Structure 1
Amino acid sequence: MDLLHYPFMVRALIAAGLVGLTAPAIGTYLVQRRQAVMGDGLGHVAMTGVALGFLLRSSPVWMATAVAIVGAIGMEIIRSRGRTSGDVALAMLFYGGLAGGVMIINLAPGGSTTNLISAMFGSITTVAPEDIIAMVILAAFVLAVTVGLRRQLFAVCQDEEFARVTGLPVRALNLLIAVTAAVTVTVAMRIVGLLLVSAMMVIPVAAAQRITRGFAATLGLAMAISLTVALTGSAATYYIDVPSGSTIVLLAIGVFMAMTALSAPLARRRAKAARAAEEVCTRDDVKV
């Protein structure tokens, strides 16, 4: 594999692996609570952070993380209040982040819309050594939260009222989910891009749900699917010179379609097995 002879490709594959693991890890919870588009909104907000990084000559990854976390907290506050004007406030937050990013990047010395476009759609050549360090730290945080607190987070996503009755800190856990989603967005920025990261949070989870039963099985399979398409898409980018973000997302969509095709016969088989088990139970009851 000659691509491993190039340091930028090694960095790109490491980054792709981190994206593949983290995006569905938090995406499973977002899908569970019907917030699948949250990653898309955070991606818009993070663009302002990327532009600020160029303006202040600091790391775009860390700056995007800080801005995305602030945006995520704002989104969660708006969501928890549940007002009818919440959608309007969220829309202004999303598109304000996008507009702010474009404005600031043009004011930054040495900055250009090309820098912003690479952050929006991903580019394997933009992964710097310092980015890998930041991504490893951020990915470790995401996995520690999503795997280590999976029972508590699942309870909150499934039924907030029940979780509150059992004594769980629902508000703190909701904020933690939002912050973790914001961190995941910036982890995926270099490879998938801020505008496409939401797809990696949702599509592998949706694909896994077609053939799995149970939360743990869905989480594990979604991470496996995401890791596979992220690594495959990044490698394909090297060989056929196509954008990494769009390649990875299209591969994920292809896997979803394949899982959908498999789900029909699998569902019929499960239904047949269930009927057979029911008949056995009925015969046993008759004999008794």
Structure 2
Amino acid sequence: MDILFSGFFQRALAGGLLIGITAPLMGVFLVLRRLSMIGDTLAHVTLAGVAVGFLTGFYPLGAGLIFAVAASFAIERLRKAYKTYAELSIAVIMSGGVALASLFFTLGKGYNADVISYLFGSIYTLDTTDLLVVGIVTIAVVSVIAVFFKEFFLLSFEEDAASVSGLPVKMLNMLITILTALVISTAIKIVGSLLVSALLTIPVAISLLLARSFKTSVILSVVIAEIAVVAGLVIAGIWNLAPGATIVLLLIALLVLILAGKKGFSV
């Protein structure tokens, strides 16, 4: 139990709680727009940036963030080029991200152990700089969503109607993608690039089963994510388990229980 009061665990808890706010907040809009896979795409690109950071001596999380934001611009450009097949933009950028990450892995053999930690998450290694970056991103995401909540809501349900009503659809689309890139690039050190999309989507999937309104769904998805983060970190800390995997498995278990419960009530 002493681990729960150690400095590294407290930093992990603080970082996890911050990501527990931003990931489901962005996840709600991504799920409703059927862009759930963008999380995996930007995570792979971020991993390539992290590898470059280790190779060049640049702050890895900062390099990953730059790569993710650049990828978000590329996704939006490709979405415009393939309006009828918008999902192609995600597939193309994901392929590029995987290819770059693989290339940089081979170039920096001495750093592979450090880069691989970003695959599965290394929340216990968060330092003050990491927490500062995550905190800034959290403030930015929450502030932008608070200002453009109604616009994002309309854009998520009916993009054509949003355009007809005079909303700057291109700017809003870009804003959502950039915010998603910021969230993912800061989350991969916490849950890992292989699991980061789960934190974007599973709390939202659970909230959509329980909530009766959009606002309730947003609030509930954040609450669910926070509960999973705290419980997952405590369980992982006590029993020496992988924290990122524990958090995600708790979310999946909760989703299965709610689905089973709703099926029972409907019989």
TM > 0.5 fold call: yes
* Larger deviation, residues 102-111 vs 243-252: 102-111
Q: Quick one: which amino acid aligns to residue 216 of structure 2? A: A
Where does residue 101 of structure 1 map in the other structure?
101
Q: Distance in 2 between matches of 1:252 and 1:109?
A: 34
CA pair 255-194 structure 1, distance change in 2 beyond 3 A: same
Q: Distance in 1 between matches of 2:81 and 2:128?
A: 41
CA pair 105-128 structure 1, distance change in 2 beyond 3 A: farther
- Aligned positions of 1:134-283 closer than 5 A: 134-264=133-263
- Aligned positions of 1:43-54 closer than 5 A: 43-54=43-54
Q: Distance in 1 between matches of 2:212 and 2:88?
A: 36
Q: Distance in 2 between matches of 1:188 and 1:254?
A: 21
1:104 Cα deviation from its structure 2 partner: 1.7
1:266 Cα deviation from its structure 2 partner: 6.3
Unaligned runs of 5+ in 2: none
Q: Quick one: which amino acid aligns to residue 60 of structure 1? A: P
Q: Distance in 2 between matches of 1:155 and 1:97?
A: 31
- Deviation string for 1:157-195 (max 9, x for gaps)? 111111112111000000001001111101211111112
- Aligned positions of 1:125-136 closer than 5 A: 125-136=124-135
1:232 Cα deviation from its structure 2 partner: 1.4
1:216 Cα deviation from its structure 2 partner: 0.3
Q: Where has structure 1 moved over 4 Å in runs of 4 or more?
A: 83-89, 264-268
Unaligned runs of 5+ in 1: 269-288
Where does residue 26 of structure 1 map in the other structure?
26
How many residue pairs get aligned? The number is 267
Secondary structure of 2:52 counterpart: helix
* Larger deviation, residues 238-247 vs 219-228: 238-247
Q: Quick one: which amino acid aligns to residue 81 of structure 1? A: A
1:83 Cα deviation from its structure 2 partner: 5.2
1:262 Cα deviation from its structure 2 partner: 3.5
Does the CA-based 8 Å contact 1:160-1:170 persist in structure 2?
A: yes
Where does residue 38 of structure 2 map in the other structure?
38
Secondary structure of 2:99 counterpart: helix
1:150 Cα deviation from its structure 2 partner: 1.3
Secondary structure of 1:189 counterpart: helix
Q: Distance in 1 between matches of 2:126 and 2:50?
A: 14
CA pair 267-25 structure 1, distance change in 2 beyond 3 A: farther
- Deviation string for 1:225-268 (max 9, x for gaps)? 00110121122221112112211111001111222234346668
1:213 Cα deviation from its structure 2 partner: 1.1
Does the CA-based 8 Å contact 1:33-1:158 persist in structure 2?
A: yes
Does the CA-based 8 Å contact 1:39-1:201 persist in structure 2?
A: yes
Q: Distance in 2 between matches of 1:22 and 1:101?
A: 25
1:144 Cα deviation from its structure 2 partner: 1.5
Does the CA-based 8 Å contact 1:54-1:105 persist in structure 2?
A: no
Normalization by structure 1: what TM-score? 0.86
CA pair 146-102 structure 1, distance change in 2 beyond 3 A: same
- Deviation string for 1:9-62 (max 9, x for gaps)? 111001110111111000000011111111011111111110111112121111
1:121 aligns with 2:115: no
Q: Distance in 2 between matches of 1:5 and 1:240?
A: 15
Does the CA-based 8 Å contact 2:37-2:90 persist in structure 1?
A: no
* Larger deviation, residues 72-81 vs 86-95: 86-95
Task: Please provide the CA RMSD for this pair.
Answer: 2.0
Q: Quick one: which amino acid aligns to residue 54 of structure 1? A: F
Aligned-residue identity in percent: 33
1:55 aligns with 2:55: yes
